[in-house]
Amino acid sequence: QWTPGGMRHGQRPTVSPEEEHRPAYGGSIGLGNCSAQVVVETLREGLPVAAFEHLRDALDVSTRTLAETTNIAVRTLARRKGEGRLRKDESERVLRIGALLDRATEVLEGRDAARQWLKSPKRALGGHTPLEYADTEPGAREVEDLLTRVEYGVFS
């Protein structure tokens, strides 16, 4: 299994007391729950292609579906597999969708509920599924806002 920042499997980054209460990133893409600093460094290097595959499996969607959502052509993914890493911009888009899955899992109190919610059309998103809507940064922010409304019981 790969790890961010060249750490050995099982080794965890040192977390300062200040960082301990900051949001963690990367759970659904196989990073574990890392600090923003570790995630930024990992994104700069480019996520391993395994992160895309991990997220695909976590969402229980096809490669094509996740490729469309992250705007990475399937042929490009095949090339990246040979190279071993995604590019920085591709990595950020994979992280964006992973963060939505992590947030939906938290709000809906379970991975199965989160998967179903992300793949079901929502009136608040014009009849699109949250995954379809999150193919752009502003769309992903709308999905986050919708999750916040769900969390606080606001009718959407």
Q: For residues 5 and 50, what is the distance between their CA atoms, to the nearest angstrom?
A: 15
Tell whether the model's pLDDT for residue 110 goes beyond 90: yes
Q: Is the distance from CB of 60 to CB of 52 less than 8 angstroms?
A: no
3-class DSSP string for 34-102 = ECHHHHHHHHHHCCEHHHHHHHHHHHCCCHHHHHHHHCCCHHHHHHHHHHCECCHHHHHHHHHHHHHHH
Tell whether the model's pLDDT for residue 3 goes beyond 90: no
pLDDT computed for residue 24 by the predictor:
62
pLDDT computed for residue 55 by the predictor:
97
Total-model pTM: 0.83
Tell whether the model's pLDDT for residue 1 goes beyond 90: no
DSSP state of 155: -
